Amino acid sequence: MRVLEFDIENIYAHMSTKYKQRATECQVGKTVTSSEFNNDYIDINGVITHYLEAGREHDEAVLLLHSGEFGAAAEFSWGPVIGGLAERYHVLAPDMIGYGHTEKLFNFEDQFDFRVTHVGEFLKTKCIDTVHVIGNSLGGGDILSVASEQTPLEWPIETAVSISGGGGPPDQFEDMLDAFDGSREAMEDILKTHFKHQWWGSDYLDRRVEMSRVSGQWQNVAALGLHAPFEQESTSRRSNRYDRIDVPTLVIAGESDPLKSVDTMRSVYESVAKNNSEARFEVVADVCHCAQIERPERTLELFFDFFED
Ordered structural domains, the chain, with CATH: 61-307 (3.40.50.1820)
Q: What is the pLDDT of residue 178?
A: 85
Residue 173's identity, in one-letter code, is F
Q: What is the pLDDT of residue 19?
A: 46
**Could you give the CA distance from residue 74 to residue 92 in angstroms, rounded to a whole number?**
10
Per-residue pLDDT at 80 exceeds 50: yes
Q: Which residue has the higher pLDDT, 170 or 164?
A: 164
| Nearest by Cα to 101 from 55, 170, 41, 162 | 41
Please classify residue 97 by burial: count the beta carbons closer than 10 Å to its beta carbon, then call 0-12 exposed, 13-18 middle and 19+ buried: buried
Gyration radius (Cα) of the chain, Å: 18
Sign of the dihedral through C-alpha 68, 224, 240, 121: negative
Q: What is the pLDDT of residue 177?
A: 82
Q: What is the pLDDT of residue 129?
A: 97
Would you list the DSSP string of 27-92? TTTS-EEESS-EEEEEEETTEEEEEEEE-TT-SSEEEEE---STT--HHHHHHHHHHHHHTTSEEE
**Could you give the CA distance from residue 291 to residue 309 in angstroms, rounded to a whole number?**
21
Q: What is the pLDDT of residue 241?
A: 94
Of 125-129, 166-170, 187-191, least confident by mean pLDDT is 166-170
Per-residue pLDDT at 303 exceeds 50: yes
Hey, which residues does 51 pair with through a beta bridge? 40, 94
**Could you give the CA distance from residue 185 to residue 202 in angstroms, rounded to a whole number?**
12
Per-residue pLDDT at 75 exceeds 80: yes
Query: What value does the mean pLDDT of the chain take?
Result: 89
Per-residue pLDDT at 24 exceeds 60: no
Q: What is the pLDDT of residue 227?
A: 85
Q: What is the pLDDT of residue 20?
A: 45
The proportion of the chain whose per-residue pLDDT surpasses 70, expressed as a percent, equals 89
84 Cβ neighbours under 8 A, 6+ residues apart: 296, 297, 300
Distance of CA 93 to the CA centre of its chain: 8
Mean pLDDT of 188-198: 96
Q: What is the pLDDT of residue 155?
A: 97
110 Cβ neighbours under 8 A, 6+ residues apart: 235, 236, 237
Per-residue pLDDT at 14 exceeds 50: no
Strands (E), 87-198: 90-94, 131-136, 157-163
Per-residue pLDDT at 94 exceeds 80: yes
**Could you give the CA distance from residue 284 to residue 254 in angstroms, rounded to a whole number?**
5
Q: What is the pLDDT of residue 34?
A: 53
Per-residue pLDDT at 6 exceeds 80: no
Each residue of 227-261: pLDDT tens digit? 899 998 878 888 889 999 999 999 999 999 999 99
pLDDT confidence band for 35 (50 / 70 / 90): low
Helix axes 296-307, 74-86, angle to 10 degrees: 60
Q: What is the pLDDT of residue 2?
A: 33
Each residue of 58-72: pLDDT tens digit? 999 999 999 999 999
Contact 307, 273 (CB under 8 A): no
Q: What is the pLDDT of residue 233?
A: 86
